[in-house]
Amino acid sequence: MSAREAVEPAVERDRKAEHITLALEPGMQLGRSFFDDYRFEPEALPEIDLDEIDTTVEFLGRRLAGPLLISSMTGGTEVAGRINRNLAVGAERTGVALGLGSQRKALEDPVKADTFRVREVAPGVVLLANLGAVQLNYGMGVRECRQAVEMIGADALILHLNALQEAIQPEGQGNFSGLLPKIGEVVREVGVPVVVKEIGCGITEATARALAAQGVRIVDTAGVGGTSWARIEAARARDLEIGELFAGWGLPTPESVRQVRRVEGLTVIASGGVRNGLDAAKAIALGADLAGLAHPFLAPAMEAAEQVADKVRRTLRELRICMFCLGVKTIGELRTKRLVRGL
């Protein structure tokens, strides 16, 4: 299905279904990997045993098989329910974390809640609930944030920042004034850790410091380099020109990671254009604690849970190969490795 066909007028448009259809189109990706600007210095004589490499990490008090988060994608429509269950089962089988898409639709229409309820098929997964931070200016507050967490038995809550998306989206909500103290209130009152993430434009050091001052301890960069939500929303709005103008708006993920890492006391999740285990390794060497991937899991999740699990296993294998060729046995050691830019 083409982008044009995906946005044909309808009596009632299903925004989430349109997002899924458009996100699968190659033209909705930025088309450039900023991680390719960086290279590791290889260790020709690793002096380690490949079988001894340990990719496990701690996150939210739990042990993960690798520093990977299947990042937030969708929910609130029938196909999204199948995607989320496949993602959850795949994450359960492989021991990585999972963030769900925005639960706003489920709070507005409880019938949609089942498209997010995956805990029964993934009892051991580190699971993250999700709401748009801007919703704190549109009638939602701590109570609704708690409802989102309780709805899925989540271990943490993501508040996502998506100013560019809202500015272009036909149904966009553009009042971002006064959000910082409201985010701080949620951090203090919601009862679970709060992750603040962008959705493709990156987070600067200044923003990370402002969030940290409000008590935020986990920041997800979601920088430039992956899916362009400017292009997706512009396609939906039939304004492709503005989508191209803002397609690469923001900080590339590697630079966002470097900036956010300068803020002490933060756990940093690198997402935005992370496409494989080598990208994940580079993100960690740049200063991230975890790497988040979304688009690489979307097509597998449309098919079956085992295909999601296979993609996780492959990503972890790619990470292990990189670590072996660097001569490091643990993720902690990987964080010390030098990256060279521009070769």
Burial 27-44 (b: 16+ CB within 10 A, else e): ebbbeebbbebbebeeee
> Does the pLDDT of residue 3 top 60, yes or no?
no
Tokens read off for 68: 């990977």
Q: Is 156 helix (H, G, I), strand (E, B) or coil?
A: strand
Per-residue pLDDT, 12: 59
Per-residue pLDDT, 343: 64
How does pLDDT run across 111-165, given as a tens digit for each residue?
999 999 999 999 999 999 999 999 999 999 999 999 999 999 999 999 999 999 9
Of the two residues 155 and 31, the one the predictor is more confident about is: 155
How does pLDDT run across 271-320, given as a tens digit for each residue?
999 999 999 999 999 999 999 999 999 999 999 999 999 999 999 999 99
How big is the CA angle at 124 (ends 120 and 308), to the nearest 5 degrees?
Answer: 80
Contact call for residues 227 and 200 (beta carbons, < 8 A): yes
How does pLDDT run across 205-222, given as a tens digit for each residue?
999 999 999 999 999 999
- With CA atoms as reference, report the closest residue to 70 among 260, 333, 330, 307: 307
Mean pLDDT for all residues in the chain? 94
Q: What share of the chain is helix, strand, coil (3-state, %, to 5)?
A: 50, 15, 35
